[in-house]
Amino acid sequence: MKVPFLDLMLPQQELKTQLLKAIERVLDSGWFILGRECEEFEKSFAKYCGVKHCSGVGNGLDALEILLRSVDIGVGDEVIVPSNTYIATWLAVSATGAKPVPVEPDDNTFNISPENVKKAVNKYTKAILCVHLYGRASPMLELSDIAKDNRLWLFEDSAQSHGTEFLGKRCGALSDGAAFSFYPGKNLGAMGDGGAVTTNHDIINDRVRTLRNYGSRVKYQNIEKGKNSRLDELQSAILCEKLIMLDIWNERRRALAEFYNEQLAGIGDLRLPEIPLDRMEHTWHLYVIRTKKRDELSKFLDEKGISTLIHYPIPPHMSEAYREMKYFPDDFPIAKSLSETVLSLPIGPHLSKSGAEFVVTSIKEFF
């Protein structure tokens, strides 16, 4: 039996009729950039997130950069980011000219720790950019308080948390603004690159729409040095169809995560991810276990035909891209230790029960 890490074929098969119709609609319209499909998706996704505005952009990294630039974050500013995240979170801050200031996560939730955020705030700090890592909502109440007390912007990197709920609201609606990625492997994925910015602020939204389109709202009137980063009509049409399935697909992920947690409890030195008290606070973009025997386990599963991945093997502070910051590996010991012990098991809306059972049996066999 082969268990892929994530099946990117079956979602398309499940929706083939609808997707083909959506693609045909775009073909027949003869309009490919910033048109009706993008507007339609922006409206639907804003409504889904429970937020006033959504603007489609080219990818998740651009969504983050444009969001930060929309409030004039740049050279001389500091933005607080998690030490344990995909490097894109940091790269977006660097792209604006500002400095990413890493803060260690809570060892139980993998998410940024409010206590550590407080310690990192200084007079140069302009924003907190939290990441709802692996699909789990960040501690938004505490982060909002810190942001208010220190007059900081609070932003969400929502690239892994499409549909995640927090006290009845959704990620994307929990801060001043959020960035989404629709990279094919995300919980809501396009058939190419895509991203979006959501916000309740009219001013931020206006600026995002200018920045994504060459700094222009009226053709050939360029009021600032913007980017070219737009969600195209084909991806928008595809995302409209896939959005309809998101809650169902996320619920399948929750069921699989609960199954894994039940079945893998007490095995070897495994440390399982925590299921939040409110199970809606997690959408399980990734199911991440920890073990000292990570590399051996991953190899053993691979030989059985089970694909696993590591998110992430090199924390940003140890990445060559950030060598100029001159960090030592032990400057962020939690991020370092996670990079040495985490392993992501297969999970996704199209992983079968028998597939998950095979993963469990194989892990038991290993230990």
Ligand X SMILES: *Cc1c(COP(=O)(O)O)cnc(C)c1O
| 339 scored as a contact of ligand X (CB under 6 A) | no
The interface region with ligand X, picked from 85-93, 106-114, 250-258, 336-344 by CB under 6 A, is 85-93
Alpha carbon distance, N-terminus to C-terminus of the chain: 20
**Does residue 109 belong to the site contacting ligand X (CB under 6 A)?**
no
136's tokens = 């789990």
Write down the least CB distance from residue 92 to ligand X, Å: 7
Measured in whole angstroms, the distance separating CA 318 from the mean position of its chain's CA atoms is 21
Minimum separation from the CB atom of position 142 to ligand X (A):
20
Q: Which of 89/111 has CB closer to ligand X? A: 89
Q: Is 95 in the site for ligand X (CB under 6 A)?
A: no
Stretch that binds ligand X, among 34-42, 84-92, 210-218, 270-278 (CB under 6 A): 84-92
Using CB under 6 A as the binding rule, whether residue 131 contacts ligand X is answered as yes
Stretch that binds ligand X, among 55-63, 246-254, 257-265, 301-309 (CB under 6 A): 55-63
Stretch that binds ligand X, among 53-61, 93-101, 228-236, 317-325 (CB under 6 A): 53-61
Q: Of the candidates 70, 85, 113, 344, which one interacts with ligand X according to CB under 6 A?
A: 85
* 159 touches ligand X (CB under 6 A): yes
Strand partners, 130: 156
Exactly one of 45, 86, 90, 166 binds ligand X (CB under 6 A); that residue is 86
- Told to check if 232 binds ligand X by CB under 6 A, we report no
**129 contacts ligand X (rule: CB under 6 A):** no
Residue showing the smallest CB distance to ligand X in the complex: 60
Query: Nearer Cβ to ligand X, position 183 or 332?
Result: 183
Q: Measured from the CB of residue 362, what is the shortest distance to ligand X in angstroms?
A: 27
Q: Is 335 in the site for ligand X (CB under 6 A)?
A: no
Q: What are phi and psi of 84, to 5 degrees?
A: -110, 95
**160 touching ligand X, by CB under 6 A:** yes
The least distance separating ligand X from the CB of residue 268, rounded to whole angstroms, comes to: 28
Under rule CB under 6 A, residue 198 binds ligand X: no
> SS3 string of the chain?
CCECCCCCCHHHHHCHHHHHHHHHHHHHHCCCCCCHHHHHHHHHHHHHHCCCEEEEECCHHHHHHHHHHCCCCCCCCEEEEECCCCCHHHHHHHHHCCEEEEECECCCCCCECHHHHHHHCCCCEEEEEEECHHHECCCHHHHHHHHHHCCCEEEEECCCCCCCEECCEECCCCCCEEEEECCCCCCCCCCCCCEEEEECCHHHHHHHHHHCECCEEECCEECCCCCECCCCHHHHHHHHHHHCCHHHHHHHHHHHHHHHHHHHCCCCCCECCCCCCCHHHECCCCEEEECCCHHHHHHHHHHHCECCECCCCCCHHHCHHHHHHCCCHHHCHHHHHHHHHEEEECCCCCCCHHHHHHHHHHHHHHC
Q: Which is nearer to ligand X, 131 or 240 (CB)?
A: 131
Candidate list 77, 157, 176, 233; residue touching ligand X; CB under 6 A:
157
List all residues 6 or more positions away from 126 whose beta carbon is below 8 Å from its beta carbon: 71, 73, 77, 78, 79, 98, 152, 153
Shortest distance in whole angstroms from residue 193 CB to ligand X: 6
Interface pattern 56-75 for ligand X (x via CB under 6 A): ---xxx--------------
For position 291 contacting ligand X by CB under 6 A, the verdict is no
* Size of interface with ligand X, in residues (CB under 6 A): 15
CB of 171 to ligand X, least distance (A): 12
Token pair, residue 181, equals 């990625």
Contact between 88 and ligand X (CB under 6 A)?
Answer: yes
Q: In the range 170-189, which residues lie near ligand X by CB under 6 A?
A: 181, 183
Beta-carbon count within 10 A of 278 CB = 12
Quickly tell me which residue has 């998410």 as its tokens. 111
List residues binding ligand X (CB under 6 A): 59-61, 85-86, 88-89, 131, 157, 159-160, 181, 183, 193, 195
